[in-house]
Amino acid sequence: MIFSEFSADSVAEFPASAPESARRARFRFRKWLNASAIFLSLFAMVFGIFWLLWILWDTCRMGLSSFSVAMFTESTPPPNEEIGVGGLANAMMGSLQMVALATLIGAPVGVLSGIYLAEYDPRGKMAVMIRFINDLLLSAPSIIIGLFIYAVMVVRFKEFSGWAGAAALSLIVIPVVIRTTENMLALIPIGLREAAYALGAPKWKVIMRVTLTAARAGVLTGVLLAVARIAGETAPLLFTALNNQFWKAGLSGPTANLPVTILQFAMSPYENWRQLAWGGVFLITLAVLVLNILARILSRGRGTE
């Protein structure tokens, strides 16, 4: 069935005067080439899935074995303690605070910027410049963003802090939300806007009540994907929030967070720290999986509206 679609075309490429043996040889070559391409594609897919499943298996096996009530209720322990003593509660709280603050900063800026690009100035010089800068931010390594916030905030105030970590994460959220919001609004049919304008609605109300409402699932999907991206970022936090092994309220001063804690514990020679690192890896993997599933559900709902 795979080769039946092009068999007639492949034979038709040769003029009627061509020898039958040459035409059949060319056809066999194209069948072999097609089969080879399909085999290589399947091999690449199986190769990638194999390593992905292996990583997920080790993450689940090692992560679930280190789960305990103490992991969610106690702070990170000192080195070389007994396995099962101490947890990641302070790191979880610090990560939640920074991710939530980064989302509160970055999501509104991204949505408003996407609205400007899609509704107010889609082809202007300013829009072209904004898209170019946004593409640079999307492709920029996160460590560069962390180094920028380090120079702007940490060096200026002479202190690592969770505020600086949230600022770095928000710069990662903004370009993702801008791109998603602009693309989702561009998919809304122009007829919806024209119908609202014909009824006398002002532009801001058309955007709020018509276009943004119609694209709300896609915009929320972009926000969730941005949150999933920053949930496991380590490099920006090394330059900004650093880490803290104690429970503290607020984001002033070095702030505990899961990614940096996992990095430090996984590279340590202490067994209790390595066990907690696997538990943190499983928690981040589970959180990213849940966020991606929610994004898929929302995008599917957008397609059926």
pLDDT single digits (tens) 227-244:
999 998 999 999 999 998
Q: Reply yes or no on whether the pLDDT at 303 is more than 60.
A: no
pLDDT at 27 (0 to 100): 87
Are 182 and 295 members of one domain?
yes
The verdict on residue 178 lying in a domain is: yes
Confirm whether 282 is domain-assigned. yes
273 and 211 within one domain: yes
**CA-CA distance, 148 to 167, in Å (whole number)?**
10
User: Domain check: are 154 and 266 in the same one?
Assistant: yes
The answer, yes or no, to whether residue 10 has pLDDT greater than 70, is no
CB 115 within 8 A of CB 185: yes
Let me know whether 163 and 100 are in one domain. Answer: yes
Q: How many domains in the chain?
A: 2
Same domain assignment for residues 102 and 47: no
Say yes or no: 144 and 264 in one domain.
Answer: yes
Same domain, 40 and 144: no
pLDDT in tens, 284-300: 999 988 988 888 887 77
pTM for this prediction: 0.83
Q: What is the pLDDT of residues 148-164, one digit of tens each?
A: 999 999 999 999 999 99
Q: Are residues 154 and 241 in the same domain?
A: yes
Whether the per-residue pLDDT at 18 is higher than 70: the answer is no
User: Domain for residue 294, yes or no?
Assistant: yes
Angle between helices 20-65 and 271-304 (to 10 degrees): 130
Pair 17, 157 in one domain: no
**237 and 120 belong to one structural domain:** yes
Q: Verify that 294 and 218 share a domain, yes or no.
A: yes
Q: Which range among 85-94, 141-150, 295-304 shows the weakest confidence by mean pLDDT?
A: 295-304
32 in a domain, yes or no? yes
Position 14 in a domain: yes
User: Is residue 130 in a domain?
Assistant: yes
Q: In Å, how far are 30, 58, 133, 208 from 174, measured between CA atoms?
A: 48, 33, 11, 20
Say whether both 108 and 42 belong to one domain: no
| CATH number of residue 287's parent domain | 1.10.3720.10
Read off the pLDDT band of 22 (50, 70, 90): confident
Cα within 13 Å of Cα(124), Cβ side? 10
Q: Which residue has the higher pLDDT, 300 or 246?
A: 246
The answer to whether residue 83 is domain-embedded is no
Judge whether 124 lies within some domain: yes
Domain boundaries, position 178: 89-304
